[in-house]
Amino acid sequence: MFAVLRKWRRRRLDRLPFPATWLRILRERVPYYRLLSHDEQTQLQTLVRVFLSEKEFEGCGGLKMTDEIRVTIAAQACILLLNREHDYYAGLHSILVYPSSYEAPSKFVDPAGVVHEGDESRLGEAWLRGSIILSWDDVRRDSADFQDGHNVTFHEFAHQLDQQDGTFDGAPLLEKRSHYRSWARVLMKEYRALGDAADRGQETLLDQYGATNPAEFFAVITEAFFERPKALKEKHPELYDELRKFFHQDPLARLETAER
């Protein structure tokens, strides 16, 4: 019964005009929006409307929540959903937003087996169930420059796509079982290569934070796919192709069209 009601609400929202103030925010605060085709822009507006109706936003650390914050985050989150079968990040209920980087408890074991505990500064965080935490300063900066290779919103929402099967493991749900073999072969090869390069101190296109574990690798390559598609396709063509098939998008083609 709830699923039927949810579908009815979504169809109803789809029939309503997109608010002019939200459209202005998309055009001014999310420049990636301009790269989308007309059909994709219309699709994104629908995605944003539903996303905002179903997710709770909460300002933390004294941040007052505004439509600018909500729409900017929702738009970038929903760019990852374009042209795909999805359920609007099912299981995600709330987005907590701090004014800037925030302190969070940290615990890790070093190679000698010593446990270290304390606080560390973070820009964002995705929990297995329920919530995402973001720094508004970083969301805003990353949104404004969509070609620097870094986007905290893409990163944290990539984690949400990854955990749809219940685990953060760098293996999101794929459309067909036959896709998993190629996905595993390419991503594991690239993940190991990134780790080896990091160990050697070699500079890489991909953020070496992705060598932390397969989950972080998927989030890092998602950032690169949307923000540095030309370089990614040139240096890692197989990886680019796997992501193109997964997201049903070709960011490089978008950039080339915009440059004509």
Residues 134, 31: one domain?
yes
> 91-116, pLDDT tens digit by residue?
899 999 999 866 665 554 445 555 44
- Write out pLDDT tens, residues 227-254: 999 999 999 999 999 999 999 999 999 9
212 and 240 both lie in a single domain? yes
Same domain? 21 vs 134: yes
Q: pLDDT tier at 193 (50, 70, 90 boundaries)? A: very high
- The domain that holds 236 is classified in CATH as 3.40.390.10
Residue 218 lies in a domain: yes
What average pLDDT does range 37-44 have in this prediction?
96
Q: What is the CATH number of the domain that holds 48?
A: 1.10.472.150
Average pLDDT, the chain: 89
Q: What is the pLDDT of residue 129?
A: 62
26 lies in the same domain as 140: yes
117-147 pLDDT tens trace? 545 555 556 655 689 999 999 999 999 999 9
Instruction: Establish if 164 belongs to a structural domain.
Output: no
Is pLDDT of 65 > 80? Answer: yes
- The reply to whether 87 and 12 lie within a common domain is yes
Is 161 part of any domain? no
In the chain, what's the furthest Cα-to-Cα distance? 60
Q: Same domain for 84 and 203?
A: no
Full DSSP string of the chain: -HHHHHHHHHHHHHHSPPPHHHHHHHHHH-GGGGGS-HHHHHHHHHHHHHHHHHSEEEE-TTPPP-HHHHHHHHHHHHHTTTTS---SSTTEEEEEEESS-EEEEEEEE-TTS-EEEEEEEESEEE-SSEEEEEEHHHHHHHHH-TTSS--HHHHHHHHHHHGGGSS-SS-PPPSSTTHHHHHHHHHHHHHHHHHHHHHHT---SS-GGGGS-HHHHHHHHHHHHHHSHHHHHHH-HHHHHHHHHHHT--HHHHHHHHH-
Are 188 and 69 found together in one domain?
no
- As a whole number of angstroms, the distance between CA 251 and CA 239 comes to 14
Instruction: Answer yes or no: is pLDDT of 188 > 80.
Output: yes
216 and 149 housed in the same domain: no
Domain encompassing residue 59: 1-107+116-156
pLDDT of residue 108: 44
- Name residue 195's amino acid: G
- pTM given for the model: 0.88
